[in-house]
Amino acid sequence: MTITRSPTNETDGDAPLRVVRVGDRAVAYAEYGDPDGTPLLFLHGTPGSRLLGRLLDAAAREHEVRVFAPDRLGYGASDPWPDRTIEETADALVAVLDDADVASAGLVAFSGGAPYGLAAATRHPERFDRLDVVSGAVPPALSDETPPIQRLLHRMARSTPALLQALLRGQAWLSAQLDPAAVVAQYTTDGADDVPEDAAAVVKADFLEAVGGDAAAAAVEFRHAARWDPATDGPPIAVRFHHGSRDANVPIDGARRFADHFPGAAFDEYEGADHLGALLRAVPDVVGAQRDERELAASPA
C-alpha cells in the first residue's frame, strides 16, 4: 500500500478536510473536535460519509478529543473501489492515521462500519487503543431476526446491484426535497420526534453525501454485510459494544450473541434506545472513555 499525503487542506464547511492517496485512490477525511486532542478514528454506517462525524464534535471538544472521520472508498469525496474487500477497506482507513502523523488512536465504528472497524483493529492492533462498536451490524450467521428491509438490501446487492443503486439514488433525490425527519426515520423506531434538529440535519446531509451521486459504494458494502464471517477471536485490544434495546435495524439479541464471541468484550445496553438513539446517547460516554483509556495507558505504572 503506497500512501501519498495531500499537499493542502480543503474545507468541509467549518471542518478541515484532507485527502490522502492510497495507491492511485484518494481517501478523504474530515476532522472534528479538538485539533490538539486525543486522536480517535470514527467510522460511519452503510450508507454513510465523513459528515456523520459532526455528531461527535461537541463531545469531542468537551473531552479534548480529535476526531478523524473518513469517507470509505466510493462515498463522498473518496475514490470508488468497486471490488474492495473488508480487509482492503480496513487497510485504507489506517492511511488516515499515517497522513495525520498519528501513531495510534481510539476507534469507534457505527452500524455498518462495524465490519471495517473490527477488521482494522484485528489487522492493525498496534494502531488502535480500544474499539467501541455502536449499534453495530451483526454477521448473518448470528442474526436470527434480520429485518426484512435488510434482507432485501443484501439480496439486491448480490443479484441486482444496478437496480439497488438506482433505488438509492432515487431515494436520495426524494430525501433532498423533504424534511430531515424523512431520512431520520430510516434509523429510528418511533420517528424523528426525539432526535434534536441539529442531529437530524447531520443525518440527512450524511445520507445525501453517501448516495446522492454514485450509490455503488453502498451496494459494495451491502454485499460485504451479506457475506461477512469475521474471525471469532476478535482483535487483541479492548472491545466494547453499545446497543439500544429497541433497535429495529439491528435487533439487540443478535448483537449480544456477536459480542459473546469476543473474549473479554463488554456490552452496554441503552434502555429504550433505537438504532440512531443509541449513537446519540453513547457519544459522550464513548468519547470520554476513549480519552480516559489513552491517558491511563500513557500514565507511568
pLDDT digits (tens, 9 = 90+) for 167-186: 778 777 888 888 899 899 98
From the number of C-beta atoms within 10 Å of its C-beta (0-12, 13-18, 19+), residue 272 rates as: middle
Residue 69 in domain? yes
For residue 300, the model assigns a pLDDT of 65
Residue 209 in domain? no
Residue 75 in domain? yes
Of all residues in the chain, the percent with pLDDT exceeding 90 is 68
Residue 275 in domain? yes
Residue 158 in domain? no
Diameter of the chain measured on Cα atoms: 57
**CATH number for position 22:** 3.40.50.1820
Read off the pLDDT of each residue in 221-248 and give the average, rounded to a whole number.
Answer: 91
- Average confidence score pLDDT of the chain: 89
Confidence check: pLDDT of 272 > 90: yes
For residue 213, the model assigns a pLDDT of 78
Domain of residue 131, residue span: 3-143+231-296
Confidence check: pLDDT of 8 > 70: no
Compute the Cα dihedral for 228, 232, 234, 240 and give only its sign: positive
Residue 179 in domain? no
Residue 85 in domain? yes
What cell numbers appear for 15 in the block?
471542518
For residue 2, the model assigns a pLDDT of 45
- Integer Cα distance of 144 and 142 in angstroms: 6
Q: Which residue has the cell 495507491?
A: 23
pTM of the entire predicted model: 0.91
Per the structure, the count of domains in the chain is 1
pLDDT digits (tens, 9 = 90+) for 34-63: 999 999 999 999 999 999 999 999 999 999
Residue 152 in domain? no
